[in-house]
Amino acid sequence: MKQIMDAVVIGGGIAGCSLAKQLADLGWRTVLLDRQSFPRHKTCGEFLSPESQEMLSKLGLDAVMESLQPQLISKARLIFEHGGSVEVPLPGTAWGISRYTLDSALHEAIIHAGANVRTGVTVTSIKQNEEGYEVKMKRHGEVEVIQARTVYAAWGSHRHSNMFNEPYPLDSSKPSYVGIKSHYSGIQPESVTELYFVKGGYIGISPVENGYSNVAALLEKGVVKGAGTTIPVILESASKENHQLVERMKHAVPVEGTQVSIAPVHLSHHPLAWHVIPHLGDAAVVIPPLCGDGMSIALRSSILCCAFADRYLRGEISLSRWQEEYTQAIEHEFSGLIRRGRIAHVLCSMPRITRWFPTVVRICPPIGKYLVKATRLKSYT
């Protein structure tokens, strides 16, 4: 007899892992699929906010967190192109931890919870049928099909245009961005996450494990075009006009094998909670990375999604009620953050604003604290 899974989660990043863990903990037969092999490096600032840590703990992932050796981060520093800078204390201690380590530790935890984790598997199409969904995937050129009662899009910011029979609704922001990252040695580590503003974007530096620094950037496509063929060269070229960044990177040496990129990155105008199947994490909401809270959104959306999924799988609610209520919950939770994040993103790229901003924060420090708070998710209760 054909086996039908209760849940197929597509994407083994923060959102997919946390959802798979919750569903497996509830006893649902769960499969997590990811096209990459783990451990893998991932384009991310690797700044794990206090809100994210709180949610990982609530998901029963304390043992995972204890196994990590994060760097502790207590302040954020913004350094503008014209040389002005602002330092703001964070509302709690953040962690600097690589996605290489974090995501792999999460995979181990979900295997322990009883989920089946399959990597190196690319999902190519999802079709709705009377038993739920048929998920088609490819591994080394071989096609395989799984039947599932529920399927979840936790596949990151990429819009898989051929995944469904129907096209994605449009929410394309202009300009589109390129995200890049590399670990470096030779940058004196500090317990600070730094954000340097450059032409067409920003470059963040955060301490991670092993004494390395993670350097991650979000840059307009036009800035990257023709800037070089390797990530360290692109980063060097983009840094040129921020003298303090040039100084900070003076002795930096890229760590081999840690360079990754992602493109195009479109920042969300509106959340996309549902398109044929529920969406979570970056598949639902992409906020400007300067907020440093994308991982919080991934975790929070997985918690929201799991509560509805459990009720649906138990037969307590219909699919259409799940869709309607989950969509409302995602909009309620994230619409304000998307708006505030976009405002901060635009303001920080306006020289007329950034020129007086450091002085204003120096005269009135609560303004800096307010801005840090405004671009973060509220604590999870």
Ligand X SMILES: Cc1cc2nc3c(=O)[nH]c(=O)nc-3n(C[C@H](O)[C@H](O)[C@H](O)COP(=O)(O)OP(=O)(O)OC[C@H]3O[C@@H](n4cnc5c(N)ncnc54)[C@H](O)[C@@H]3O)c2cc1C
Which residues of this protein are in contact with ligand X, per CB under 6 A? 10-16, 33-36, 42-47, 122-123, 154-156, 158, 160, 179, 216, 218, 262, 265, 281-283, 289, 292-295, 298
> Residue 336: what residue type?
G
Largest CA distance in the chain: 71
Alpha-carbon distances, residue 348 vs 222, 225, 229, 291, 293 (angstroms): 18, 22, 28, 12, 17
Strand partners, 178: 219
CB of 359 to ligand X, least distance (A): 27
CB of 146 to ligand X, least distance (A): 12
CB of 81 to ligand X, least distance (A): 18
Measured from the CB atom, is 218 or 235 closer to ligand X? 218
Measured from the CB atom, is 64 or 218 closer to ligand X? 218
Strand pairing of 116-119 and 30-34?
A: parallel
| Cis-peptide, bond into residue 175, ω within 30° of zero | yes
Alpha-carbon distances, residue 284 vs 10, 298, 368, 375 (angstroms): 13, 9, 29, 18
Determine how many CB atoms are found less than 10 A away from the CB of residue 140.
Answer: 6
String of DSSP letters for 241-293: T-HHHHHHTTT-EEPTT--EEEEEE---SS---EESEEB-GGGT----GGG--
Measured from the CB atom, is 105 or 295 closer to ligand X? 295
Whether the CB-CB separation of 64 and 106 falls below 8 Å is answered with yes
CB of 140 to ligand X, least distance (A): 14
CB of 99 to ligand X, least distance (A): 7
Measured from the CB atom, is 179 or 358 closer to ligand X? 179
CB of 88 to ligand X, least distance (A): 16
Measured from the CB atom, is 139 or 362 closer to ligand X? 139
318 burial type by CB count under 10 A (0-12 exposed, 13-18 middle, 19+ buried): exposed
Measured from the CB atom, is 271 or 289 closer to ligand X? 289
Measured from the CB atom, is 270 or 355 closer to ligand X? 270
Gap between the Cα atoms of 142 and 366, Å rounded: 58
CB of 197 to ligand X, least distance (A): 14
